[in-house]
């Protein structure tokens, strides 16, 4: 896939770090899995013959305690059924929104040494993904737009 996005670019990560760090954030995750997990040569014995989905489950198992430790939680998870507006050839295998009490918590998670070990499973699992930071907004009841 020519538009494969697995890890953030340096510019995107720098932009993320430049935003306010002391406010809650929601991170929209859109994931497309590899049919077979694609581990680097130095991890050849990890996840032999695992699907990308299975490798992502292992990522969740190993990164979950770090995610919880920094105050993160999954506030929504869904399974895509149809693209109503957007490119018809786009299909996401998994989608969820992760809540963090602040962006410093996210940065603490992704820089933790044990996370650096766990993320290898995510990198092997993902064909392409999108990770989009959102600032939560207050709803005033009857708002639609």
Domains of the chain from N-terminus onward:
10-134 (3.30.70.100)
Q: Output the pLDDT for position 1.
A: 43
What average pLDDT does range 97-102 have in this prediction? 98
pTM above 0.85, yes or no: yes
Question: How many separate helices (H) and strands (E) can be counted in the chain?
Answer: 4, 4
Q: Supply the mean pLDDT for the chain.
A: 92
Q: Which of 105, 84, 140, 80 is nearest to 26 (CA)?
A: 105
Q: Output the pLDDT for position 75.
A: 97
φ/ψ (deg, to 5) at 4: -85, 125
Do 89 and 128 contact (CB within 8 A), yes or no?
no
Q: Output the pLDDT for position 43.
A: 76
Is 143 or 106 the better-scoring residue by pLDDT? Answer: 106
Q: Which of 53, 59, 49 is nearest to 33 (CA)?
A: 53
Residue with tokens 């998870």: 77
Find the range with the poorest average confidence among 4-13, 38-47, 50-59, 123-132. Answer: 38-47
């Amino acid at each position: 896939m020519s538009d494969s996005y697995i890890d953030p670019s340096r510019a995107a990560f720098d932009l993320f770090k430049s935003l306010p760090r002391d406010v809650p954030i929601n991170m929209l995750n859109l994931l497309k899995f590899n049919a077979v997990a694609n581990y680097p040569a130095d991890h050849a014995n990890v996840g032999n013959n695992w699907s990308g989905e299975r490798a992502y489950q292992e990522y969740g198992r190993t990164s979950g305690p770090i995610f919880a430790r920094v105050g993160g939680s999954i506030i929504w998870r869904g399974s895509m059924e149809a693209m109503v507006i957007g490119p018809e050839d786009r299909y996401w295998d998994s989608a969820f929104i992760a809540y963090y009490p602040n962006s410093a918590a996210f940065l603490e998670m992704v820089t933790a040494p044990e996370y650096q070990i766990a993320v290898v499973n995510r990198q092997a699992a993902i064909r392409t993904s999108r990770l989009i930071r959102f600032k939560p907004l207050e709803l005033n009841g009857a708002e639609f737009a």
